[in-house]
Amino acid sequence: MSNVEEVGEFRFGLGHRVLEFVATLAGRHREPVERLATPDDLSRWLRLSGLVSAAPCTEKDLSQARQLREAVYRLLEAVRSDRSATSEDIDLVNAWARRAKSAPQLDASLRLYREAPNPCTASLAELAAAAVDLITSPELDRVRNCADPTCSLMFIDRSRPGRRRWCSMERCGNRAKTARYRRQHPHAASQ
C-alpha cells in the first residue's frame, strides 16, 4: 500500500517535498502536463505542500518556480545517472538556496508558524535548500523512477528490501497489474 496522495492534480507522498515539486510537471516522457499553469496554482501547491499557510505568487514567481523545478530535475537526473550537471543548473539552485527563507515564529498560543517578507520566494528558497540536501544525502540512493514507462514521477523507496517499483500501487502499480492480467487472460478482458 502506497501513501501517495493526489490533491487536485498535485501528487504528494513521494517521500520528499522536492520530488513532489518536480512532479508538478507531469508526463515528462510523453506529452508534458504543466500543473503549475498559473500563479494561483503555485500558491495552492505551496500551501498544500505545507511550506506556507498562504503565499500570493506572481507571474514572475511562477516563471522562477518553473526554472528552479527544471534545474532541480536535471540535477537529480544527472547525479543519479553519473552524468555531469551543468554549471547553470548548479548556480541557479545554489543561488535560490542562499536566499532568505521563512523564519519560525510563535503565535499567542505558542504554536509554530513561519513568516517571511515574500512567502512565495521564501518557499522556493526552502525548496532549493531541500534539493541541495537531497542531492548530497545518502537518501539519494533510494530515489527511484516509477516503473510505469508512461509515468515520469520519482519517489523515495523506503521499503525494507528497497525494491518498490511504482510511485503509487493504487495508480501505476494497479494499471500494470490490470494490463498484465488482460494480456494473460484475453477472454476475461473481452467479457
Residues 6+ apart with CB under 8 A from 114: 52, 102, 103, 104, 105, 122
d(CA 3, CA 15): 9
C-alpha cell at 40: 494561483
Flag whether pLDDT at 52 surpasses 60: yes
pLDDT of residue 80: 95
Q: Which of 49-53, 79-83, 87-91, 179-183 has the lowest mean pLDDT?
A: 179-183
pLDDT in tens, 63-75: 999 999 999 999 9
For the chain, the structural domain boundaries read: 5-190
Answer yes or no: are the C-beta atoms of 97 and 103 closer than 8 Å: no
pLDDT in tens, 149-173: 888 899 999 988 888 887 876 667 5
**Angle, CA of 65, 67 and 68, to the nearest 5°:** 65
Q: Comparing 21 with 160, which gets the higher pLDDT?
A: 21
Instruction: Output the pTM of the full model.
Output: 0.85
Closest CA to 69 of 53, 46, 47, 48: 46
CA distances from 6 to 12, 24, 48, 95, 164 (A): 6, 11, 11, 31, 19
C-alpha cell at 82: 553519473
pLDDT of residue 184: 67
d(CA 124, CA 28): 21
Flag whether pLDDT at 4 surpasses 50: no
Q: Which numeric CATH code is attached to 5-190?
A: 1.10.3300.10
